Amino acid sequence: MNVIDLLLYELDHTYNQDDWYSPIKLALTDLTVEQATWKLDIESMNSIWEIAAHLLYYKERLLFQLQGKKAEYGTNNQDTFAFEGNSQLDWDAFVNKMHEVNQRLGEHIQKLSEADIEKDTSKFSLLKRISGIIRHDAHHAGQIIMIRKLQGAWPVHQEME
């Protein structure tokens, strides 16, 4: 397996495939807007929607970069957790956008050569940037699942294939 295939495998299994840990897509499935915006009474705790907005922010910037567009980054990471909307329709549209951006990322990664991913892009090579986004999803998937468990909105038993 070459490095491009490995990145695609990891992207797919972190976002789509239920494997050793549950993917983002499953973690965001079948949520109401109330569940997506619910927070514990702890100031520093983010809602599921806030976490998902944070993930989308960084995924979109990587996609812009892969498309040859300028990827602007804000100076305050906390701002990346902001989202727009407050209805079930807004939440569902947001989740669909997450799915679309992830699919487009995979399509663009598939077109890369191994030489492309070793190129430096500011501080990091594209390989490190893509790998970081994948690990970022895995990290925050666990947070989303924990919030769902606290809500009683996560299946108690899941079958592994």
Q: What are the angstrom distances between the C-alpha of 149 and each of 83, 103, 143, 156? A: 22, 27, 10, 9
What is residue 111's predicted lDDT score, i.e. its pLDDT? Answer: 96
pLDDT value at residue 161: 52
Whether 56 and 101 have beta carbons less than 8 Å apart is answered as yes
Instruction: Report the alpha-carbon distance of residue 139 to residue 21 in Å, rounded.
Output: 10
Measured distance CA(71)–CA(80) in Å, rounded: 14
Predicted pLDDT of residue 152:
94
Structural domain includes residue 157: no
Q: How many domains does the chain have?
A: 1
Is there a contact between 94 and 85 (Cβ–Cβ < 8 Å)?
yes
Assigned domain for 11 exists: yes
What lies within 8 Å, CB to CB, of 149 at 6+ separation is none
Measured CA to CA, the distance from residue 69 to residue 100 in angstroms comes to 18
Query: Does 68 fall in a domain?
Result: yes
Residues spanned by the domain of 69: 3-151
Quick check: is 100 in a domain? yes
How much is the pLDDT for 28? 97
Q: Is residue 98 part of a domain?
A: yes
Q: Domain with 137 in it: what CATH number?
A: 1.20.120.450
140: helix, strand or coil: helix
CA dist., res. 23 & res. 52, Å (int): 13
Per run of 10 residues, the mean pLDDT along the chain (length 161 residues) is: 95 93 94 96 91 97 92 86 96 98 98 86 83 96 96 74 52
Q: Is residue 40 part of a domain?
A: yes
Distance CA 134, CA 19 (A): 15
Domain assignment present for residue 69? The answer is: yes
Note the pLDDT of residue 94: 98
For the entire predicted model, the pTM comes to 0.92
- Cβ neighbours, 10 Å, residue 124: 12
- What pLDDT is attached to residue 75? 78
Task: Establish if 161 belongs to a structural domain.
Answer: no
Q: What is the DSSP letter of 120?
A: E
